[in-house]
Amino acid sequence: MSVLNSNTNCVRSHYDALIDENNDPVRDSAPVKEYMAKWDGEPFFEAMRLTPEQSVLEIGVGTGRLATQVCGKCGRFTGIDFSPKTVERARENLREFANASLICADYLAYLFDEKFDVIYSSLTFMHIKDKQAAILKAANLLNPGGCFALSIEKSQQEELDYGTRKIALYPDQPDEIIPLLNKAGLNIEEQFETEFAVVFAARKGGSHVG
């Protein structure tokens, strides 16, 4: 099973190409980092309620833009991404964090051997066609009481035009995400907007973690 079906190779090649073009958000200037935070930023981190003993999974870790801010706030961090060159760069960017491990694989197809207290994703679900499968898998990977934090792009564009290449997108809509979260057994605790995104923080039934 593939996250992107026939679009998988195209998207993987796109993100590999970004590394070849030296496009790495972790190494961006401060103004560019501030711009990127308009999809998530401090409110997103606060919604996760991170504590030092938690295990955390990021879906679509990229080069580690968010992970560099999460690894120092949790007990164990795992990031998954299916672009080999992106994961290689993330390993460089996260090398100071002994608690970080990275997986180069398709999130929907990968068989995890552990569960997590917090799972989060930002700027990734626009690449996932089967939203229900992705959310249900996240719910199944959460420990009881675990938190799933999701930032979805407000833009409803169906294609990413990068000049020399175009990537098909699968826009996210809040009124469609809400019932999918509920169907997966995730109770929405927070829903708010940043400048460019809508953020959900939902919790799996059971004892509170952290």
Considering only CA atoms, which of 72, 69, 68 is closest in space to residue 92? Answer: 68
pLDDT digits (tens, 9 = 90+) for 153-187: 998 888 777 777 888 889 899 999 999 999 999 99
At residue 70's C-alpha, the angle toward residues 68 and 75, to 5°, is 120
Residue 80 has pLDDT above 90, yes or no: yes
Using the 8-state DSSP alphabet, how is residue 26 labeled?
Answer: G
133 pLDDT tier (thresholds 50, 70, 90) = very high
Q: Which residues contact 165 (CB under 8 A, 6 or more apart)?
A: 10, 13, 14, 17
Q: Model pTM?
A: 0.91
Strand partners, 190: 201
Where do the domains of the chain lie?
5-204
Q: Around Cβ 165, how many Cβ atoms within 10 Å?
A: 12
CATH of domain 5-204: 3.40.50.150
